[in-house]
Amino acid sequence: MSGWRFVLNRRWAGYLLATLVFALACVLLSNWQFARLDEAKAENAKVAANWDAAPRPLTEVLADREGWDDTLKWTPVEMTGTYLVEEQLLVRNRPLNGQPGFDVLTPLRLDDGSVFVVDRGWLPTGSAQDAPDSIPAPPEGRVTVVARMKAGEPTLPNRSAPEGQIATVNLPTVQDLVGENTYLNAYGLLASETPPVADRPIALERPPEDEGPHFSYALQWIAFGLMGFFGLGWAIRTEYRIANADDPAERKRAAERQRKQDARGPTDSDIEDALLDRVD
């Protein structure tokens, strides 16, 4: 079969379908990376807008104890109350700089009787037990706390924890353990407490405003999708030359390609083949 009619068969239709499916998958993966990029930009915007903002009263920022607006993430809030040290909890599996450890959750009973959960910071796993070697005590009596808010976390299925520890910062779980009227929409990462104490868990640092590699990954997936069509075109062109090898026009083009190749000299592949032939 001469000319381009050889492509009109089921085999090449299958190749085209496979190329289209591959391109569609690349487009979907590219869009997923663009979506991840948008999420990273949104997180960076929250850090830029809220991290260094002036603290506001907790009751002013959170009108109720259940609704949550994610634009409030990292917003500093100020509150006064008394730490419930006897109800303190450790959150498991909280690595920091590659080191395993725990977050220390200390409920704070506010003046109106409600409880706001404060994450006072991070402690490394102990040298001889699955818990910190020691937990620095919070200030005694009334304390004024500034904390940056975060939404509570979901539970993890089939994930348990020993007494005094929890697997995630799931605020309904904390309320059940504490037995108090707890804020269920947010908890706070400790920024400061007055009066201060000499020793406290390691505080969380400001999150880096990094968009990550999502943009370059998205472009790579687009390039991969285009390469599929280039590969299909190359395969069609190669079979065209084989199918039309006896055509005078194609023979003339083949001779011209050979002349140009001879003028350039042997390629690295040609040299490697010659060396292998000598070895054989």
Assigned token pair, 154:
């979901």
Contact indicator for 182, 103 with CB cutoff of 8 Å: no
pLDDT for position 239: 83
Contact indicator for 72, 56 with CB cutoff of 8 Å: no
Query: pLDDT tens-digit profile of 67-117?
Result: 889 999 999 999 999 999 999 999 998 999 889 999 999 999 998 899 999
Reported confidence tier of residue 255, pLDDT bands at 50, 70, 90: confident
pLDDT for position 32: 95
Three-point CA angle 172, 177, 179, nearest 5°: 85
User: What is the average pLDDT across 167-171?
Assistant: 93
Task: Provide the 8-state DSSP code for 212.
Answer: T
Residue 140 CA to residue 72 CA, distance in Å, equals 29
Query: pLDDT tens-digit profile of 111-158?
Result: 889 999 999 999 999 887 888 889 999 999 999 999 999 999 998 887
The more confident residue out of 110 and 267 is 110
Assigned token pair, 12:
């090449």
Residue 118 CA to residue 70 CA, distance in Å, equals 18
The strand pairing partners of 79, in sequence order, are 145
The predicted model scores a pTM of: 0.74
- Rg of the chain's alpha carbons, rounded to an integer? 32
Average pLDDT value over all residues in the chain: 88
Three-point CA angle 157, 159, 163, nearest 5°: 135
Placement of tokens 């590659």 in the chain: 98
pLDDT at 249 over 80: no
